[in-house]
Amino acid sequence: MGKITEIKFVGQPVFKQIINLIDKSDIQGLINKHQSDYYYKSFKTRTHLLTMLFGILSRCDSMTEICEGLRALSGKLNHLGLDQAPAKSTACDGLRNRSCKFFEDLYFHLVKHYQSFLSDSRTFGLTFKEILLIDSTTIRLFSDILKGVGRNPSGDGRRKGGLKVHMLIDAVQSVGRFIKLTAARVHDHVFLKSLALVPGSMIIFDRGYNDYHQFAEWTEQKVYFVTRLKRKSAYKVREIKKAYDLKKDQAMVLREEIIQLTHHPVKEDGKQDIKTDLILQLRRIGYQDELNHHYDFLTNNFDIPAEEVASLYKKRWGIELLFKKMKQNFQLHYFYGENENAIYTQVWCTLIAQLLLTVTQKIAQTKKAFSVVASLVRIHLISMLDVNELLRSTRRTFKGRPAPPGLQLCLNMPGVTF
């Protein structure tokens, strides 16, 4: 009775409580859609999903570690709805052959389900229908795992491949809203052609995505963007709106201009018509931050203040933090399979795990960082603890029951040595 418990004990492991965030009926609907259980007698889709999430959340380095870890938990597998731990050969076959499209659809289904829950009420000074951030990150691979996707080394080094994750997120959320996986050699601006954007939305991205023909189409559709101008871009200044004197160590707008850029239309076969020149009119804003770094911003919105253009571009850092969470807290240095489908499946399951932990973090209303949340879940993955109390707890001590009188060991007791 004297023991004080800060964390409540429950009848399900932490792993099971996180899995409960995935609605079983929705999983079954996607299973039926993709027929992902066809030809599989023992290693069903749900078992495959649990196996991958267990390995990702516990940061296992191989499928052997995952299967051996599940085998050692045979007394708690019933909590997960598993009769037995999968064999390594069976799990590897499933990872190699089961289409990654199921896991892709499951991720987007969960994003849609928790979209309103993860949104907050932050405002941005000007009301757009949507404020979206776009960026990509590269995951290194050796070419013998995913052939033909890397670049040839300049010296005698070994050729490396890579997988590029293109992502679009809502600025008021912390999960990917639209994601596309490509080879690392695919240029970033190709991703823009896959987007379906609503009029009145604002898109923010870096200069690696510059595509003047795409900018012209967005301008016609009243889709706005903010990006940076490439250093060697050729343009003509049509009008100087404002110009200010430079002041050191002060964040300020230096120059505001209306410029004209030349782009080429795209023919029906997808190639540019280099013989035809079209004029695109955009707004260029020169800006200096507190560290005296200079930036040239480019936008097709002529109404918002120049200071707000710079403020919007700063919010692009949100997607960089999302990539940082994914690479630092999950295992993306070692892959559980050796073919393209297996690698894509692991990346999609990693994104699912990140989404589930983000939802868990918000449900618990904890002030702990995401890296701490991921570590606590990894350490207590199969502990019978309330995950919300685990993440909220801030106590540094555990007060136990005092020992009854007469049972304490006396250091001067004869015959006792240490």
* Token duo for residue 167: 């992502």
Place of tokens 């809502």: 170
Interatomic CA distance for residues 397 and 381, integer angstroms: 21
Q: Which helix (H) or strand (E) holds 176?
A: strand 176-183
> What is the distance between the alpha carbons of residues 234 and 236, in angstroms, rounded to a whole number?
7
pLDDT of residue 51: 94
Query: Can you name the residues that pair with 165 across neighbouring β-strands?
Result: 137, 181
What 303-310 contacts at long range (C-beta under 8 Å, 24+ apart), as own/partner pairs, is: 304/126, 306/242, 306/253, 306/256, 307/253, 308/124, 308/125, 308/126, 309/226, 309/283, 309/285, 310/251, 310/253, 310/285
Instruction: Round to whole Å and give the CA distance between 45 and 98.
Output: 8
Checking if the pLDDT of 394 tops 90, the result is: no
Does residue 275 or residue 110 have the better pLDDT? Answer: 110
Query: For residue 263, which of 202, 310, 220, 203 has the smallest C-alpha distance?
Result: 220
Confidence of residue 150 (pLDDT cuts 50, 70, 90): very low
Q: Which two tokens stand for residue 81?
A: 């709805």
Mean pLDDT of 257-281: 76
Q: How far apart are CA 233 and CA 156, in angstroms?
A: 34
pLDDT of residue 157: 53
| pLDDT tens column, 2-56 | 444 555 667 788 999 999 999 766 788 899 999 998 888 889 999 999 999 999 9
- From the list 164, 125, 188, the residue with the least C-alpha distance to 323 is 164
| Cα–Cα distance, 312 to 133 (Å, whole number) | 10
Supply the DSSP symbol for 193: G
pLDDT at 2: 46
DSSP-derived letter for residue 248 is: T
Q: Which helix (H) or strand (E) holds 181?
A: strand 176-183
Which tens digit of pLDDT belongs to each residue from 281-335?
Answer: 899 999 988 888 889 999 999 888 888 898 889 888 888 888 888 888 888 878 8
Give the percent of the chain with pLDDT over 70: 82
Residue 411: pLDDT band with limits 50, 70, 90: very low
Helix (H, G, I), strand (E, B) or coil at 62: coil
Q: Are 134 and 319 in contact (CB under 8 A)?
A: yes
- Given a cut of 60, whether residue 163 has pLDDT beyond it is yes
* Average pLDDT of the segment spanning 370-374: 93
pTM here is 0.80
